[in-house]
Amino acid sequence: MQAFSSVTVDERSIRYEGWRIVAVCFLVAIFGWGFGFYGQTVYVAELHRLHGWPASLISSGTTFFYLFGALLIVFVSEAIRSFGPRNCLLAGTCAMAAAAVLMGRAAEPWQLYLADAVFAFGWAGTSLGVITNTLGLWFDTKRGMAISLALNGASFGGIIGVPLLVVAIGRLGFSGAMTLAAVAMLALMIPIILTFVGPPPAGRVETQWPGTEIRSAPRIRAMALRDTAFLTVAVAFALVLCAQVGFIVHLITFLDPVIGREHAAIAVALLTAMAVVGRVLFSAVIDRLNQRLASALSFTSQAVALAVVINSRNEALLVAACALFGFSVGNLITLPSLIIQREFDSRSFGVLISLITAINQVTYAFGPGIIGLLRDASGSYSLPFYGCIGLELIAAMLIMVRGKGGRITPPVAAIDLPDRAGA
């Protein structure tokens, strides 16, 4: 029995309003990842230069940001049900801008942690959890393409956001640049969100049929953590993202003595660009693929790339390996939501994707630190990078296990919005 009204929308039409929401989420992702993810590298360097604080002190603030943000992301789906996607996006935008100003003016360690706490709220309202939940209200058959296209904004946040921020810091100083960036974010995003993000299509608002139990979000989360199909997705992607984030953070440090800092930066830029290429190419077909198999192949391709990076000293081969690794980077934050959509009742999508995003974030928050510790203990990057290969291959096998789960029913009304949704 269907739990949705019979209103039909043509998601393939270029005039469908959902594609405007994709464009909004693309812009949100630019600022979310530019400030919240890639920007952390800039903050560590600038605060160390300005105040002489130990890198460990500043980076521990980053870890706190990731962990607190993961806790908040768990509840994104409930926030969207209660307040609507428009209000959640507005709140995330304002929190991110406030955090940027606070970070620019941090003069004491406690102010750094305050800024990172506010950043966590901004990250929850501008990153993967809120974007996938929001797009899930407008898309079903084309959800994979919509999420893939919107999340290209994450890559652009690193490609254009960080260099612009660095240039602005050179001209205006850290505080001035962060304030200007925050004002620019508010001036651009608030009018766009208010103009284009309204209530989702009526046919996507769930209604409860007589006799159908609507379970609470906490109960759905508890059931998911006992479900084999959910756990294999959550654990596999947590392992891979831990390896992926750790490898990328340490890549320039690894390549610098081999091919030089300038060429190492080019390799990282190519890796990021290939993430965009891979996501765009996959977006056209990703809804029709066996998504678990596509995930396993992506994990394996990254393991192959890592093996080349460890064992080669040829510059062309190293750059090619970085490109191969990057090709699947973007899709690894898209594929979990598509597997969840395909294998679980659609009404549980928001709760489950928020949970899996939080699990992944908690795990990859420790990736750079673990690789750094293994590198210091062993004297080279071979051991930690071989460890990353092991994680990738274990995940490739694990993701192919469905078990007997996969149906958490009847689920929470993950997209049961009030009439004021988005208002």
Is 219 a residue whose pLDDT tops 60?
A: yes
pTM of the entire predicted model: 0.75
Which of 413 and 154 is assigned the larger pLDDT?
A: 154
Beta strands in 138-262 (DSSP E): none
Is 280 a residue whose pLDDT tops 70?
A: yes
pLDDT at 411: 40
pLDDT at 64: 87
Instruction: Delineate the domains of the chain, giving CATH numbers in brackets.
Output: 18-204 (1.20.1250.20), 217-398 (1.20.1250.20)
Is 415 a residue whose pLDDT tops 50?
A: no
Which of 217 and 423 is assigned the larger pLDDT?
A: 217
Cβ atoms of 46 and 174 within 8 Å: the answer is: yes
164 secondary structure, DSSP code: H
Mean pLDDT for the stretch of residues 207-229: 65
In Å, how far are 144, 207, 287 from 87, measured between CA atoms?
24, 22, 29
- Count CB-CB contacts under 10 A for residue 14: 6
Least confident of 47-51, 177-181, 202-206: 202-206
Is 423 a residue whose pLDDT tops 80?
A: no
193 half-sphere exposure, CB direction, 13 A CA radius: 28
- If 0-12 CB within 10 Å is exposed, 13-18 middle and 19+ buried, where does residue 404 land? exposed
pLDDT grade for 414, boundaries at 50, 70 and 90: very low
Tallying the residues shown for the chain, one arrives at 423
Is 213 a residue whose pLDDT tops 90?
A: no
Q: What is the pLDDT of residues 268-278, one digit of tens each?
A: 778 878 888 88
pLDDT at 378: 86
Cβ atoms of 146 and 26 within 8 Å: the answer is: no
Q: Is the dihedral of CA 24, 27, 32, 37 positive or negative?
A: positive
pLDDT at 32: 92
How far is residue 27's CA from residue 146's CA, in Å, rounded to a whole number?
Answer: 13
Mean pLDDT for the stretch of residues 355-376: 84
pLDDT above 70 as % of the chain: 88
